[in-house]
Amino acid sequence: MRSACRDHSQVRVITKQIVDERGVQGLWRGTTPTILRNVPGSAFYFFFLHHLRSTFAHLPWLSRDSANMVAGATARGTAGLLFMPISVIKVRYESSAYAYTSIAGAARDIVAKEGVRGLFAGFGATAMRDVPYAGVYVALYEQLKALGNRVLLDSSPAKSTGLNMGSGVIAGTFATVLTQPFDLIKTRVQVDPHHYPNSWVAIRKIFSAEGLRGFFSGMSPRLVRKPLHAAITWTVYEEVVAIWNGGLHSIGAHHHA
């Protein structure tokens, strides 16, 4: 409880500081790199995830839950690696520790000072966060959906959408709490690579200065954003897949007729 109150107090202080320094528009700083990362990143993730789940469905030795977990983890880990440079630029661009005025300028400065490997700073912690997050999320999401379908016994579109959203929020909340320490480590390494040159150094320094509780610092804002974002994204994905499959069935029926 005290941790949540401390997080809320920190959010208010940080918000006031950003508005004082950059105006209200400062709260939207980093929107462009966020779009550049999330839109193609999500498209690749769901495309690759769909392909993996279809492939794993034909493997008799892999259970459905295991297939969902492996597919989610593999797809997220691959997407994280491919879009890591944009993630690093986004975090640095948003941080008040850097005076970047453009995305291109941020990329040039990182490469000039840290080399190309600087664009992948924090990938270890990112992988430790995203891989288990996606694996747990997909497996739990599908289990909750199956449970809801058995309990509700109603396949109407409205109930289906509500079930997808509810399952997404619950699965997202659990996965977010589980992976919060790795998100904190990732952010520290990306924002302050000189003080936290790698994940293991970050773990030691955070534990030494803040104890175990320090690894859950800032979790409240992430809990507000992450589960809802995941639930909306997955609900849209489910609707698109349903429409796509319905269209294919209609085309197939037309050809057979």
> Is the pLDDT assigned to residue 138 strictly greater than 80?
yes
Residue 67 domain flag = yes
Tens digit of each residue's pLDDT (9 = 90 or more) over 192-202: 888 998 889 99
Q: Which two tokens stand for residue 252?
A: 């197939």
Residue 64 domain flag = yes
Tens digit of each residue's pLDDT (9 = 90 or more) over 169-193: 999 999 999 999 998 998 888 888 8
**Mean pLDDT for all residues in the chain:** 82
pLDDT value of residue 158? 62
Shared-domain flag, residues 8 and 105: yes
Choosing from 120, 153, 184, the residue where a domain stops is 120
Shared-domain flag, residues 158 and 213: yes
pLDDT value of residue 194? 85
HSE-CB for 209 with a 13 A CA cutoff: 8
Shared-domain flag, residues 157 and 114: no
The span from the CA of 195 to the CA of 97, in Å, is 13
Shared-domain flag, residues 19 and 110: yes
Question: Phi and psi (nearest 5°) for 63?
Answer: -65, 165
Please report the DSSP string for 153-165 in residue order.
----HHHHHHHHH
pLDDT category at 256 given cuts 50, 70, 90 is: very low
- The sign of the dihedral angle between the CA atoms of 20, 218, 120, 200 is positive
Choosing from 72, 95, 120, the residue where a domain stops is 120
8 Å CB contact between 164 and 235: yes
Shared-domain flag, residues 63 and 152: no
Residue 198 domain flag = yes
Residue 129 domain flag = yes
Name the residue range of residue 188's domain.
122-217
Shared-domain flag, residues 22 and 4: yes
Residue 186 domain flag = yes
The span from the CA of 9 to the CA of 221, in Å, is 11
What letter would DSSP give residue 197?
A: -
pTM score over 0.95: no
Shared-domain flag, residues 5 and 76: yes
pLDDT value of residue 140? 92
In the chain, the number of structural domains is: 2
Residue 228 domain flag = no
Choosing from 90, 120, 150, the residue where a domain stops is 120
> Is the pLDDT assigned to residue 206 strictly greater than 90?
yes
Residue 22 domain flag = yes
Shared-domain flag, residues 27 and 61: yes
| Pick from 240, 227, 179: nearest CA to 46 | 240
Shared-domain flag, residues 86 and 134: no
The span from the CA of 34 to the CA of 163, in Å, is 28
Burial category of 97 from C-beta neighbours within 10 Å (exposed 0-12, middle 13-18, buried 19 and up) = exposed
8 Å CB contact between 190 and 122: yes
pLDDT value of residue 91? 80
8 Å CB contact between 8 and 221: no
Tens digit of each residue's pLDDT (9 = 90 or more) over 57-107: 888 888 888 888 899 899 999 999 999 998 888 888 777 677 777 788 888
Q: What is the CA radius of gyration of the chain?
A: 21
Shared-domain flag, residues 68 and 135: no
Tens digit of each residue's pLDDT (9 = 90 or more) over 207-253: 999 999 889 988 888 888 889 988 898 888 888 887 877 655 454 54
8 Å CB contact between 166 and 237: no
Shared-domain flag, residues 71 and 178: no
pLDDT value of residue 8? 53
Residue 181 domain flag = yes
CATH number at residue 18: 1.50.40.10
The span from the CA of 221 to the CA of 41, in Å, is 22
> Is the pLDDT assigned to residue 6 strictly greater than 60?
no
Shared-domain flag, residues 113 and 155: no
pLDDT value of residue 193? 83
pLDDT value of residue 171? 94
pLDDT value of residue 254? 46
